Amino acid sequence: MEVTVAHVKSGKTLATLNGLSPKTTIEDVKKSFQKSNPKYYADRQAYKTDPRGKMLKNEDTLEQIGIKNSGKLYFKDLGPQVGWTTVFLTEYAGPLVIYLIFYFRPALIYGAGAVEKPYAQVVHIAAACWSFHYAKRLLETVFVHRFSHATMPILNIFKNSTYYWGFAAFVAYFVNHPLYTPPSYGDKQIYAGLATFILAELGNFSVHLSLRSLRPPGTRERRIPKAGSNPFTWLFHFVSCPNYTYEYWAWIGFTVMTQCLPAGLFCLAGFYQMAVWAKGKHRNYLKEFKDYPRHRRAIVPFLL
């Protein structure tokens, strides 16, 4: 059995793969194509049955996609790839280091006079919260997360880092500024925001642990996420992606605590992006699982 591989845009034939069978998977096709085109390692390849169709999964067999004797697949180059772990470590280490530079070395940013004015208590709390959040993310990347895909396009590491690193500098500049003033309602506002932040961070971590248990090590198996005995996971009753829900709640708490406009803008930007991701995951859940709870929303209980 032979399969012709054509370029997804030009339609030009790139290779003819022989010795395949109806049970051959797309992952096997990638390995076969790589033998004649070493530049295109498996993680860099994507295939479609139609130029405008969806990308096929690695576990799909030729028989399942309608190729039984011979046929054609359309190849798409995903570009140079980098591991998800590397991307996340780069994204999250940057904001941690950048923020702490503003906090520990204000004279480098604002001039020598900056060290003469002591920080307000909320500035110390904000630095601790920011550091805790990104340290948690780094540890989760190494010890908790299991990724369904091994890599992502290398250009994403620059795009994502620009977002995280840029906002880190933006928020840190104003919160640690010598002219920064504490929140209008004093300790009540500070500790209300801090309590929200801490509870949301605990919720986010609890959901990440719950999601980890859904995918056995070394597999790409997907299951319906469900609430467990941990009260923080009960948010699964209402939304598909409570990890994102807790994430934006944490930054709402940080914004309230610091009463800082750049922190609020960071919260809004993050919410928008997470809402896009959550809606995409929610749609996939509904398509993939016939018994998926229809009453759930993507990220905001009862609304979105």
Mean pLDDT per block of 10 residues along the chain (304 residues) reads 92 92 93 92 92 89 89 92 84 96 94 85 98 96 76 84 96 96 96 98 96 73 88 97 98 98 98 97 93 95 94
What residues does 16 pair with on adjacent strands?
4
Q: Where are the alpha helices (DSSP H) in 144-260?
A: 155-175, 186-212, 242-258
Determine the pLDDT at residue 149. Answer: 63
**Contact (Cβ atoms closer than 8 angstroms) between residue 168 and residue 270:** no
CATH 3.10.20.90 residue ranges in the chain? 2-79
Rounded alpha-carbon distances, angstroms, from residue 60 to 8, 29, 41, 64, 220? 19, 10, 18, 6, 13
d(CA 46, CA 250): 37
Determine the pLDDT at residue 275. Answer: 98
CATH code matching the domain that covers 2-79, chosen among 3.10.20.90, 3.40.630.20, 3.40.50.800, 1.20.1250.20? 3.10.20.90
What predicted TM-score, i.e. pTM, was given to this entire model? 0.84
Enumerate residues 6+ apart whose C-beta is below 8 A from 189: 183, 256, 257, 259
Q: Cα-atom radius of gyration of the chain, to the nearest Å? A: 24
Residue found under tokens 């591991």: 83
